Structure 1
Amino acid sequence: MLEQLSVLGTRTKGLTRLTKSSKIFKAIINAIEEKKGEQIVSLDLRKIPEAVADFFIICQAPSTTQVKAIADFIEFQVKEVSGEDPYKHEGKTTGQWVLVDYVNIVVHVMHPEARRFYSLEDMWSDAVLQKHE
């Protein structure tokens, strides 16, 4: 599962800075909510120099089927709203942790066990965390 994080090291943050009111940010949150994603949080990484994105959005789902469905719907909704395709996505085969990378926003859709194990919120504890439920 660490291969999802290694993907982040293969590209650089985009030049355009995003905000929580950006179309793509709102589309991602709405897609997760519509597909019943749980414990949705965003981590604002903009003030962390070594961060690879402006935001991480993290959520979970109780089954691998739902994890995949949420990730697929995020891609569909973002394409509809902004015309953007992800730079990359990883993890759809296993469905334990699907990463959808939009360069400035990286979405982590996780099974609860994977989320507890990797504890991204703790790893990035210096980021501003906002709950979206």
Structure 2
Amino acid sequence: MEPLSVLKSRGKNTISRLTRNSKIFKTIIRAIQDKKGEHIISLDLRKIPEASADFFIVCEASSTTQVKAICDFVEHEVKKECGETPYRHEGRQASQWILIDYVNIVVHVMHPESRKFYKLEEMWSDAESRIHE
């Protein structure tokens, strides 16, 4: 075991901070765009103490088939480009709203009716948001 003095010698640059420029963030956005996800928005939750993640990425797809395709492609691309697998995912059976949890980034791929009903952007309206076209 290392002595505590070793911790003092480590620079702050050894801690990687998750940002909108992070590779995993960019890979997720690009994968959604490649599969024609619509109305893509990211919510920066880092300044909200109650938030369970640093970012939410929300998009919609016009059919359950497209919802599944986007989710599968996001997982495939993040694994290929970043070597990361999701901590968990939810909603694959109904495919109205699939959530992919990468711990610091949570991806929500939603059918338009589900998105209108749950209104995630309104629920987290105090978060900084950004539209991705």
Q: TM-score, normalised by structure 2?
A: 0.88
- Percent identity for Structure 1 against Structure 2: 69
CA contact 1:42–1:56 (8 Å) conserved in 2? yes
Whether 1:21 aligns to 2:38 is no
- Tell me the CA shift for residue 83 of structure 1: 0.3
- Tell me the CA shift for residue 16 of structure 1: 5.6
Aligned to 1:115: 115
CA contact 1:70–1:109 (8 Å) conserved in 2? yes
- Tell me the CA shift for residue 17 of structure 1: 3.5
Q: TM-score, normalised by structure 1?
A: 0.88
Off by >2 Å, runs of 4+ in structure 1: none
Aligned to 1:69: 69
**C-alpha RMSD of matched pairs (Å):** 1.0
CA contact 1:17–1:54 (8 Å) conserved in 2? no
CA contact 1:17–1:104 (8 Å) conserved in 2? no
Where structure 1 has 5 or more consecutive residues not aligned to the other structure, the ranges are 1-14
- Tell me the CA shift for residue 130 of structure 1: 0.2
The one-letter amino acid paired with 1:129 is S
Equivalences, count: 119
Where structure 2 has 5 or more consecutive residues not aligned to the other structure, the ranges are 1-14
**Equivalents in 2 of 1:44, 1:21: separation in Å?**
12
Larger Rg: 2
**Equivalents in 1 of 2:23, 2:80: separation in Å?**
11
Q: How does 1:27-106 map to 2 (within 5 A)?
A: 27-106=27-106
